[in-house]
Chains A and B, each alone.
Chain A
Amino acid sequence: MNLKNSIFELYKDASLELPIDIVDALKEAEKNEDGMAKRAIASIIKNIGLAKTNKVPICQDTGMPIFYVEDDGKFSRKEIVNAIDGATKLATEKIPLRANAVDTLTGIGVGNKPVIHFEDSDKFRIKLLLKGGGSENVTQVYSLPNPELKAERTLEGASKCVLDAVYKAQGKGCPPYILGVAIGGNIEETLLHAKKQLLRKIDDENENKVLNEFEKDLFEKTNALGIGPLGLGGKTTVLAVKAAALYRHPATYFVGVSFGCWSSRKGELKWK
Protein backbone atom coordinates (compact mmCIF):
# COMPACT_ATOMS: atom_id res chain seq x y z
CA MET A 1 0.00 0.00 0.00
CA ASN A 2 1.28 3.47 -0.78
CA LEU A 3 1.48 6.33 1.69
CA LYS A 4 -1.56 8.18 0.33
CA ASN A 5 -3.83 5.13 0.63
CA SER A 6 -2.53 4.37 4.12
CA ILE A 7 -3.38 7.92 5.21
CA PHE A 8 -6.84 7.57 3.62
CA GLU A 9 -7.34 4.42 5.75
CA LEU A 10 -6.20 6.42 8.78
CA TYR A 11 -8.91 9.00 8.00
CA LYS A 12 -11.52 6.24 7.78
CA ASP A 13 -10.51 4.67 11.09
CA ALA A 14 -10.45 8.03 12.84
CA SER A 15 -13.74 9.42 11.53
CA LEU A 16 -15.87 6.26 11.75
CA GLU A 17 -14.60 4.68 14.98
CA LEU A 18 -13.53 5.97 18.39
CA PRO A 19 -10.38 4.62 20.07
CA ILE A 20 -11.26 1.72 22.37
CA ASP A 21 -9.88 3.44 25.50
CA ILE A 22 -12.40 6.27 25.05
CA VAL A 23 -15.28 3.87 24.37
CA ASP A 24 -14.38 1.91 27.53
CA ALA A 25 -14.20 5.11 29.59
CA LEU A 26 -17.65 6.14 28.30
CA LYS A 27 -19.11 2.74 29.16
CA GLU A 28 -17.67 3.03 32.65
CA ALA A 29 -19.16 6.53 32.95
CA GLU A 30 -22.59 5.21 31.93
CA LYS A 31 -22.48 2.80 34.88
CA ASN A 32 -21.66 5.61 37.32
CA GLU A 33 -24.31 8.03 36.14
CA ASP A 34 -28.06 8.10 36.54
CA GLY A 35 -31.02 10.03 35.16
CA MET A 36 -30.46 12.37 32.23
CA ALA A 37 -26.66 11.99 32.33
CA LYS A 38 -26.95 8.21 32.03
CA ARG A 39 -29.36 8.49 29.10
CA ALA A 40 -27.11 11.03 27.37
CA ILE A 41 -24.15 8.64 27.58
CA ALA A 42 -26.37 5.76 26.43
CA SER A 43 -27.19 7.85 23.31
CA ILE A 44 -23.48 8.49 22.80
CA ILE A 45 -22.70 4.78 22.99
CA LYS A 46 -25.57 3.95 20.64
CA ASN A 47 -24.24 6.57 18.23
CA ILE A 48 -20.74 5.06 18.30
CA GLY A 49 -22.24 1.66 17.38
CA LEU A 50 -24.40 3.11 14.59
CA ALA A 51 -21.47 5.00 13.05
CA LYS A 52 -19.39 1.82 13.00
CA THR A 53 -22.15 -0.38 11.55
CA ASN A 54 -23.41 2.11 8.96
CA LYS A 55 -19.90 3.38 8.15
CA VAL A 56 -20.88 7.02 8.63
CA PRO A 57 -18.91 9.68 10.53
CA ILE A 58 -19.54 9.59 14.30
CA CYS A 59 -20.12 13.34 14.27
CA GLN A 60 -21.08 15.58 11.34
CA ASP A 61 -18.27 17.90 12.37
CA THR A 62 -15.43 15.77 11.05
CA GLY A 63 -13.10 18.38 12.43
CA MET A 64 -9.93 20.07 11.36
CA PRO A 65 -7.49 17.32 10.36
CA ILE A 66 -4.28 17.82 12.34
CA PHE A 67 -1.30 15.63 11.45
CA TYR A 68 1.67 15.06 13.71
CA VAL A 69 4.42 13.53 11.60
CA GLU A 70 7.37 11.85 13.27
CA ASP A 71 9.82 12.03 10.44
CA ASP A 72 12.80 9.65 10.12
CA GLY A 73 13.82 10.87 6.65
CA LYS A 74 12.35 7.81 4.87
CA PHE A 75 10.21 10.11 2.74
CA SER A 76 10.89 13.66 1.70
CA ARG A 77 8.65 16.24 3.37
CA LYS A 78 7.25 17.08 -0.04
CA GLU A 79 6.22 13.42 -0.53
CA ILE A 80 4.56 13.38 2.87
CA VAL A 81 2.67 16.65 2.29
CA ASN A 82 1.51 15.45 -1.14
CA ALA A 83 0.33 12.13 0.28
CA ILE A 84 -1.59 13.91 3.07
CA ASP A 85 -3.18 16.36 0.61
CA GLY A 86 -4.19 13.54 -1.76
CA ALA A 87 -5.60 11.42 1.07
CA THR A 88 -7.52 14.44 2.41
CA LYS A 89 -9.22 15.04 -0.94
CA LEU A 90 -10.06 11.34 -1.24
CA ALA A 91 -11.41 11.16 2.33
CA THR A 92 -13.50 14.33 1.87
CA GLU A 93 -15.15 12.80 -1.19
CA LYS A 94 -15.40 9.12 -0.24
CA ILE A 95 -16.10 8.91 3.52
CA PRO A 96 -17.35 11.74 3.14
CA LEU A 97 -15.92 14.40 5.46
CA ARG A 98 -17.63 17.78 5.85
CA ALA A 99 -15.95 20.61 3.94
CA ASN A 100 -14.48 22.29 7.01
CA ALA A 101 -11.97 24.69 5.50
CA VAL A 102 -13.80 27.99 5.16
CA ASP A 103 -12.30 30.92 3.29
CA THR A 104 -12.47 33.53 6.03
CA LEU A 105 -12.92 36.40 3.58
CA THR A 106 -15.65 34.88 1.37
CA GLY A 107 -17.23 32.53 3.94
CA ILE A 108 -17.24 29.68 1.42
CA GLY A 109 -16.23 26.13 2.32
CA VAL A 110 -13.39 24.85 0.14
CA GLY A 111 -12.95 21.20 1.13
CA ASN A 112 -10.48 20.42 3.89
CA LYS A 113 -7.04 21.90 4.53
CA PRO A 114 -5.06 19.78 6.98
CA VAL A 115 -2.63 21.25 9.49
CA ILE A 116 0.68 19.37 9.50
CA HIS A 117 3.32 19.39 12.25
CA PHE A 118 6.70 17.72 11.66
CA GLU A 119 9.23 16.57 14.17
CA ASP A 120 12.43 14.57 13.67
CA SER A 121 12.38 11.02 14.98
CA ASP A 122 14.15 7.67 14.49
CA LYS A 123 10.83 6.01 13.64
CA PHE A 124 8.39 7.10 10.97
CA ARG A 125 4.92 7.57 12.39
CA ILE A 126 1.89 9.71 11.58
CA LYS A 127 -0.71 10.64 14.15
CA LEU A 128 -4.02 12.21 13.12
CA LEU A 129 -6.40 14.20 15.30
CA LEU A 130 -9.78 15.25 13.88
CA LYS A 131 -10.48 18.29 16.02
CA GLY A 132 -14.06 19.55 16.12
CA GLY A 133 -14.95 23.24 16.23
CA GLY A 134 -17.15 23.17 19.35
CA SER A 135 -14.34 21.93 21.57
CA GLU A 136 -11.83 24.21 19.83
CA ASN A 137 -13.96 27.27 20.65
CA VAL A 138 -13.61 26.71 24.41
CA THR A 139 -9.78 26.64 24.36
CA GLN A 140 -8.21 28.98 26.94
CA VAL A 141 -4.78 30.41 27.47
CA TYR A 142 -3.83 32.22 30.69
CA SER A 143 -0.88 34.40 31.57
CA LEU A 144 0.05 34.09 35.23
CA PRO A 145 -0.22 35.72 37.69
CA ASN A 146 -3.97 36.14 37.27
CA PRO A 147 -5.47 38.40 39.96
CA GLU A 148 -9.13 37.46 39.26
CA LEU A 149 -8.37 33.80 39.97
CA LYS A 150 -5.78 34.60 42.63
CA ALA A 151 -3.56 32.33 40.58
CA GLU A 152 0.16 32.63 41.24
CA ARG A 153 2.97 31.26 39.11
CA THR A 154 2.78 27.84 40.70
CA LEU A 155 1.19 24.50 39.88
CA GLU A 156 -1.64 25.49 42.19
CA GLY A 157 -2.11 28.62 40.10
CA ALA A 158 -2.09 26.54 36.91
CA SER A 159 -4.66 24.22 38.46
CA LYS A 160 -6.99 27.17 39.15
CA CYS A 161 -6.74 28.15 35.47
CA VAL A 162 -7.77 24.68 34.31
CA LEU A 163 -10.77 24.67 36.66
CA ASP A 164 -11.77 28.12 35.44
CA ALA A 165 -11.49 26.97 31.81
CA VAL A 166 -13.77 23.97 32.45
CA TYR A 167 -16.24 26.16 34.35
CA LYS A 168 -16.32 28.65 31.46
CA ALA A 169 -16.72 25.90 28.86
CA GLN A 170 -19.71 24.30 30.66
CA GLY A 171 -21.33 21.95 28.10
CA LYS A 172 -20.43 23.90 24.96
CA GLY A 173 -17.52 21.70 23.86
CA CYS A 174 -19.39 18.36 24.19
CA PRO A 175 -18.25 16.86 27.51
CA PRO A 176 -17.17 14.47 28.92
CA TYR A 177 -13.92 16.14 27.90
CA ILE A 178 -10.36 15.01 27.57
CA LEU A 179 -8.29 17.94 28.82
CA GLY A 180 -4.87 18.76 27.40
CA VAL A 181 -2.85 21.16 29.54
CA ALA A 182 0.53 22.75 28.91
CA ILE A 183 2.35 24.90 31.45
CA GLY A 184 5.09 27.29 30.34
CA GLY A 185 6.46 27.61 26.80
CA ASN A 186 6.23 30.38 24.26
CA ILE A 187 2.58 31.05 23.62
CA GLU A 188 2.38 29.18 20.29
CA GLU A 189 4.17 26.20 21.84
CA THR A 190 1.88 26.30 24.88
CA LEU A 191 -1.19 25.72 22.72
CA LEU A 192 0.54 23.24 20.41
CA HIS A 193 1.58 21.06 23.34
CA ALA A 194 -1.70 21.46 25.22
CA LYS A 195 -3.52 20.08 22.19
CA LYS A 196 -0.90 17.40 21.61
CA GLN A 197 -1.72 15.95 25.05
CA LEU A 198 -5.09 14.91 23.59
CA LEU A 199 -3.26 12.21 21.63
CA ARG A 200 -2.33 10.36 24.82
CA LYS A 201 -4.32 7.29 25.84
CA ILE A 202 -6.74 7.69 28.75
CA ASP A 203 -4.79 5.32 31.01
CA ASP A 204 -1.41 6.73 29.98
CA GLU A 205 0.46 7.57 33.21
CA ASN A 206 2.65 10.65 33.13
CA GLU A 207 6.27 9.63 33.76
CA ASN A 208 6.88 12.87 35.61
CA LYS A 209 5.71 12.35 39.18
CA VAL A 210 4.75 15.98 39.76
CA LEU A 211 2.69 16.17 36.57
CA ASN A 212 1.17 12.77 37.26
CA GLU A 213 -0.18 14.06 40.56
CA PHE A 214 -1.28 17.33 38.92
CA GLU A 215 -3.30 15.33 36.36
CA LYS A 216 -4.94 13.09 38.98
CA ASP A 217 -5.77 15.97 41.27
CA LEU A 218 -7.36 17.93 38.42
CA PHE A 219 -9.30 14.89 37.26
CA GLU A 220 -11.00 14.75 40.69
CA LYS A 221 -11.55 18.50 40.93
CA THR A 222 -12.90 19.07 37.40
CA ASN A 223 -15.36 16.21 37.82
CA ALA A 224 -16.49 17.67 41.14
CA LEU A 225 -17.85 20.69 39.20
CA GLY A 226 -20.85 18.52 38.23
CA ILE A 227 -21.20 19.89 34.69
CA GLY A 228 -21.73 16.36 33.40
CA PRO A 229 -22.23 14.84 29.95
CA LEU A 230 -23.16 17.55 27.41
CA GLY A 231 -23.47 20.04 30.28
CA LEU A 232 -26.74 18.49 31.48
CA GLY A 233 -25.36 17.88 34.99
CA GLY A 234 -23.70 14.73 36.30
CA LYS A 235 -20.59 13.11 37.71
CA THR A 236 -18.68 12.76 34.45
CA THR A 237 -17.37 16.07 33.12
CA VAL A 238 -13.87 14.89 32.23
CA LEU A 239 -12.58 11.46 31.11
CA ALA A 240 -8.90 12.33 31.54
CA VAL A 241 -6.50 15.19 32.20
CA LYS A 242 -3.11 15.11 30.44
CA ALA A 243 -0.43 17.69 31.12
CA ALA A 244 3.00 18.75 29.95
CA ALA A 245 5.51 21.31 31.24
CA LEU A 246 7.67 23.37 28.87
CA TYR A 247 10.58 25.75 29.34
CA ARG A 248 9.48 29.35 29.69
CA HIS A 249 10.93 32.84 29.54
CA PRO A 250 11.60 34.18 33.06
CA ALA A 251 8.97 36.89 32.51
CA THR A 252 6.18 34.60 31.21
CA TYR A 253 4.13 31.79 32.69
CA PHE A 254 1.45 30.56 30.32
CA VAL A 255 -1.15 27.90 30.95
CA GLY A 256 -2.86 26.49 27.86
CA VAL A 257 -6.00 24.39 28.12
CA SER A 258 -7.15 22.43 25.08
CA PHE A 259 -10.44 20.52 25.11
CA GLY A 260 -11.12 17.22 23.38
CA CYS A 261 -14.85 16.46 23.06
CA TRP A 262 -16.11 12.98 24.06
CA SER A 263 -15.72 12.14 20.41
CA SER A 264 -11.97 12.75 20.33
CA ARG A 265 -11.26 11.08 17.03
CA LYS A 266 -7.69 10.12 16.40
CA GLY A 267 -5.51 7.46 14.88
CA GLU A 268 -1.96 6.41 14.31
CA LEU A 269 -0.19 5.13 11.25
CA LYS A 270 2.81 2.90 11.86
CA TRP A 271 4.73 2.27 8.68
CA LYS A 272 6.10 -1.22 8.21
Chain B
Amino acid sequence: MEIRLQTPVKGSDVKKLKIGDEVLISGTLFTARDMAHKFLIEENFEKINHGIIYHCGPIVKKDNGRYKIISAGPTTSARMNIYMPELIKKYDIPLVIGKGGMDSLTQKALIKYNAVYLTAIGGTGALCSSSIVRVKNVYKPEFGDTEAIWELEVRNFPAIVAMDSHGNSIYDKVKANSKKKLADILGPI
Protein backbone atom coordinates (compact mmCIF):
# COMPACT_ATOMS: atom_id res chain seq x y z
CA MET B 1 0.00 0.00 0.00
CA GLU B 2 1.47 3.33 -1.03
CA ILE B 3 1.81 6.24 1.36
CA ARG B 4 0.58 9.53 -0.07
CA LEU B 5 2.51 12.66 0.86
CA GLN B 6 1.54 16.23 0.07
CA THR B 7 3.99 19.14 0.22
CA PRO B 8 4.80 20.85 2.53
CA VAL B 9 5.66 17.54 4.17
CA LYS B 10 5.16 17.39 7.94
CA GLY B 11 8.00 16.36 10.24
CA SER B 12 5.75 13.81 11.94
CA ASP B 13 5.07 12.16 8.56
CA VAL B 14 8.81 12.06 7.75
CA LYS B 15 9.48 10.33 11.05
CA LYS B 16 6.95 7.58 10.23
CA LEU B 17 8.65 6.64 6.94
CA LYS B 18 10.63 3.36 6.95
CA ILE B 19 12.91 1.83 4.38
CA GLY B 20 10.97 -0.10 1.76
CA ASP B 21 7.88 2.15 2.04
CA GLU B 22 6.44 3.10 -1.32
CA VAL B 23 5.47 6.73 -1.50
CA LEU B 24 3.46 8.87 -3.92
CA ILE B 25 4.36 12.54 -3.65
CA SER B 26 2.12 15.39 -4.73
CA GLY B 27 2.99 19.07 -4.63
CA THR B 28 6.28 20.76 -5.44
CA LEU B 29 9.76 19.35 -6.16
CA PHE B 30 12.97 21.23 -6.93
CA THR B 31 15.47 19.54 -9.25
CA ALA B 32 19.12 20.00 -8.31
CA ARG B 33 22.34 18.48 -9.61
CA ASP B 34 26.03 19.17 -8.98
CA MET B 35 26.06 22.87 -9.96
CA ALA B 36 22.79 23.67 -8.16
CA HIS B 37 24.04 22.05 -4.92
CA LYS B 38 27.21 24.12 -5.00
CA PHE B 39 25.12 27.25 -5.63
CA LEU B 40 22.68 26.44 -2.81
CA ILE B 41 25.55 26.03 -0.35
CA GLU B 42 27.43 29.15 -1.41
CA GLU B 43 24.44 31.48 -1.65
CA ASN B 44 21.09 31.87 0.04
CA PHE B 45 18.06 30.75 -1.91
CA GLU B 46 15.10 31.01 0.43
CA LYS B 47 12.62 29.73 -2.11
CA ILE B 48 13.88 26.19 -1.44
CA ASN B 49 13.35 26.32 2.35
CA HIS B 50 11.69 23.11 3.53
CA GLY B 51 11.41 22.01 -0.12
CA ILE B 52 11.95 18.57 -1.63
CA ILE B 53 15.19 18.09 -3.56
CA TYR B 54 15.08 15.86 -6.63
CA HIS B 55 18.44 14.78 -8.07
CA CYS B 56 17.54 15.07 -11.72
CA GLY B 57 18.74 16.69 -14.93
CA PRO B 58 15.67 16.64 -17.17
CA ILE B 59 15.18 16.94 -20.90
CA VAL B 60 13.20 20.13 -21.38
CA LYS B 61 11.52 21.52 -24.46
CA LYS B 62 10.20 25.03 -24.91
CA ASP B 63 6.87 25.06 -26.78
CA ASN B 64 5.26 28.45 -27.54
CA GLY B 65 7.26 30.06 -24.75
CA ARG B 66 6.24 27.40 -22.20
CA TYR B 67 8.58 24.83 -20.75
CA LYS B 68 7.67 21.17 -21.01
CA ILE B 69 9.49 18.37 -19.21
CA ILE B 70 10.03 15.54 -21.71
CA SER B 71 11.94 12.96 -19.66
CA ALA B 72 13.00 13.33 -16.05
CA GLY B 73 14.25 10.29 -14.12
CA PRO B 74 16.70 10.46 -11.20
CA THR B 75 20.46 10.94 -11.50
CA THR B 76 23.16 9.30 -9.34
CA SER B 77 22.94 10.93 -5.90
CA ALA B 78 26.43 9.96 -4.70
CA ARG B 79 27.90 12.85 -6.69
CA MET B 80 26.11 15.22 -4.33
CA ASN B 81 27.41 13.54 -1.13
CA ILE B 82 29.79 16.37 -0.27
CA TYR B 83 27.00 18.98 -0.26
CA MET B 84 24.06 17.03 1.09
CA PRO B 85 24.46 17.21 4.93
CA GLU B 86 25.00 20.98 4.84
CA LEU B 87 22.12 21.48 2.43
CA ILE B 88 19.68 19.43 4.52
CA LYS B 89 20.64 21.49 7.59
CA LYS B 90 20.68 24.90 5.90
CA TYR B 91 17.29 24.61 4.16
CA ASP B 92 15.55 22.14 6.50
CA ILE B 93 15.01 19.67 3.64
CA PRO B 94 12.58 16.87 4.61
CA LEU B 95 12.93 14.62 1.55
CA VAL B 96 15.71 14.01 -0.95
CA ILE B 97 14.90 11.93 -4.04
CA GLY B 98 17.56 10.40 -6.29
CA LYS B 99 19.05 7.04 -7.12
CA GLY B 100 21.88 4.81 -5.94
CA GLY B 101 21.99 6.02 -2.33
CA MET B 102 24.19 8.44 -0.36
CA ASP B 103 27.08 8.21 2.10
CA SER B 104 27.24 7.80 5.88
CA LEU B 105 27.58 11.55 6.50
CA THR B 106 24.29 12.10 4.69
CA GLN B 107 22.77 9.24 6.71
CA LYS B 108 23.85 11.03 9.90
CA ALA B 109 22.25 14.26 8.67
CA LEU B 110 19.01 12.39 7.90
CA ILE B 111 18.90 11.22 11.51
CA LYS B 112 19.91 14.56 13.03
CA TYR B 113 17.54 16.73 10.99
CA ASN B 114 14.68 14.24 10.56
CA ALA B 115 14.88 13.75 6.81
CA VAL B 116 14.54 10.81 4.43
CA TYR B 117 16.27 9.72 1.22
CA LEU B 118 14.05 8.14 -1.40
CA THR B 119 14.91 6.45 -4.64
CA ALA B 120 13.01 6.88 -7.85
CA ILE B 121 13.62 4.00 -10.24
CA GLY B 122 16.80 4.82 -12.17
CA GLY B 123 16.35 5.11 -15.91
CA THR B 124 12.59 5.60 -15.82
CA GLY B 125 12.61 9.09 -17.33
CA ALA B 126 9.36 8.58 -19.23
CA LEU B 127 7.52 7.18 -16.20
CA CYS B 128 8.71 9.89 -13.77
CA SER B 129 7.86 12.70 -16.17
CA SER B 130 4.32 11.35 -16.57
CA SER B 131 3.63 12.48 -12.99
CA ILE B 132 4.96 15.99 -13.58
CA VAL B 133 1.98 18.30 -14.06
CA ARG B 134 3.83 21.48 -15.00
CA VAL B 135 6.91 23.61 -14.66
CA LYS B 136 6.20 26.26 -12.03
CA ASN B 137 9.49 28.08 -12.40
CA VAL B 138 13.13 27.79 -13.39
CA TYR B 139 16.05 29.24 -11.45
CA LYS B 140 19.65 29.60 -12.61
CA PRO B 141 18.76 28.91 -16.26
CA GLU B 142 22.29 30.05 -17.08
CA PHE B 143 23.48 26.67 -15.73
CA GLY B 144 21.79 25.08 -18.77
CA ASP B 145 18.63 22.93 -18.85
CA THR B 146 20.34 19.93 -17.23
CA GLU B 147 21.85 21.75 -14.25
CA ALA B 148 19.22 24.47 -13.66
CA ILE B 149 16.85 24.32 -10.68
CA TRP B 150 13.39 23.40 -11.98
CA GLU B 151 10.45 23.97 -9.67
CA LEU B 152 7.97 21.27 -10.66
CA GLU B 153 4.38 20.56 -9.74
CA VAL B 154 3.94 16.80 -9.42
CA ARG B 155 1.01 14.49 -8.84
CA ASN B 156 1.61 11.02 -7.37
CA PHE B 157 5.32 10.99 -8.10
CA PRO B 158 6.49 7.43 -7.23
CA ALA B 159 9.50 6.80 -4.97
CA ILE B 160 10.71 4.23 -2.44
CA VAL B 161 12.17 5.10 0.98
CA ALA B 162 15.78 3.87 0.78
CA MET B 163 17.40 5.63 3.80
CA ASP B 164 15.16 6.64 6.69
CA SER B 165 15.49 9.05 9.61
CA HIS B 166 16.15 6.16 12.02
CA GLY B 167 19.51 5.19 10.53
CA ASN B 168 18.30 2.36 8.29
CA SER B 169 19.50 2.05 4.70
CA ILE B 170 18.55 -0.46 2.03
CA TYR B 171 21.95 0.13 0.41
CA ASP B 172 23.87 -0.72 3.59
CA LYS B 173 22.00 -4.02 3.84
CA VAL B 174 22.53 -4.89 0.18
CA LYS B 175 26.20 -3.91 0.34
CA ALA B 176 26.88 -5.94 3.50
CA ASN B 177 25.13 -8.95 2.01
CA SER B 178 27.01 -8.67 -1.32
CA LYS B 179 30.31 -8.30 0.55
CA LYS B 180 29.64 -11.59 2.30
CA LYS B 181 28.69 -13.28 -0.98
CA LEU B 182 31.81 -11.88 -2.65
CA ALA B 183 33.99 -13.29 0.13
CA ASP B 184 32.24 -16.67 -0.26
CA ILE B 185 33.05 -16.73 -3.97
CA LEU B 186 36.59 -15.34 -3.79
CA GLY B 187 37.68 -17.11 -0.64
CA PRO B 188 39.41 -15.21 2.15
CA ILE B 189 41.19 -12.08 0.89
Residue ranges of A at the interface with B (Cβ–Cβ < 8 Å): 36, 39-40, 43-44, 46-48, 50-51, 54, 56-62, 96-100, 107-109, 132-134, 137, 148-150, 160, 163-164, 167, 170-172, 174, 221, 224-228, 230-233, 261-263
Contacts and interface: CB of A to CB of B under 8 A. Distances in A.
Contact of B71 (A43, A56, A133): A56
16 contacts: A50-B126, A56-B70, A57-B59, A59-B123, A60-B59, A98-B59, A109-B147, A170-B178, A172-B100, A174-B99, A224-B181, A226-B177, A227-B178, A230-B100, A231-B174, A232-B170
B92 interface: no
A61 B100 contact: no
A57 B59 CA distance: 9
A12 to B, nearest CB: 14
A44 B123 contact: yes
Given A134-B75, A232-B119, A58 B178 contact: no
B71 A59 contact: yes
A99 B129 contact: no
B51 interface: no
A171 B160 CA distance: 14
B122 to A, nearest CB: 4
A164 to B, nearest CB: 7
Interface in B127-159: 127, 129-130, 143-147, 158
Given A60-B57, A230-B119, A232-B162, A47 B127 contact: yes
Given A224-B185, A233-B173, A43 B158 contact: yes
Contacts of B189: 148-150
Nearest to A223: B181
Contact of A56 (B122, B129, B185, B187): B129
B145 A98 contact: yes
Q: Output the residue of B101, B143, B162, B181 with the most chain A CB within 10 A.
A: B181
B174 A233 contact: yes
Interface of B: 20, 22, 35, 56-59, 61, 70-73, 75-76, 78, 99-101, 119, 121-127, 129-130, 143-147, 158, 160, 162, 170-171, 173-175, 177-179, 181-182, 185-187, 189
Q: Which 8 pairs show the lowest CB-CB distances between chains A and B? A: A47-B124, A51-B126, A60-B125, A47-B127, A60-B71, A174-B122, A109-B144, A172-B100
Contacts of A56: 59, 70-71, 125-126, 129
B2 to A, nearest CB: 11
Nearest to A48: B126
B178 A96 contact: no
Given A60-B58, A62-B59, 7 more contacts: A44-B123, A60-B70, A98-B57, A107-B143, A231-B170, A232-B174, A233-B174
A39 B125 contact: no
Given A149-B189, A226-B174, A232-B119, A61 B126 contact: no
A127 B58 CA distance: 26
Given A57-B70, A98-B57, A137-B76, A261 B182 contact: no
B186 A160 contact: yes
A43 B146 contact: no
Given A59-B124, A134-B76, A174-B99, A228 B186 contact: no
A215 to B, nearest CB: 16
A99 B126 contact: no
B145 A99 contact: yes
Given A36-B160, A150-B189, A261-B123, A59 B73 contact: yes
B99 A171 contact: yes
A233 B130 CA distance: 26
A163 B158 contact: no
Contact of B186 (A39, A109, A149): A149
Q: Output the residue of B73, B124, B171 with the most chain A CB within 10 A.
A: B124
A54 B59 CA distance: 14
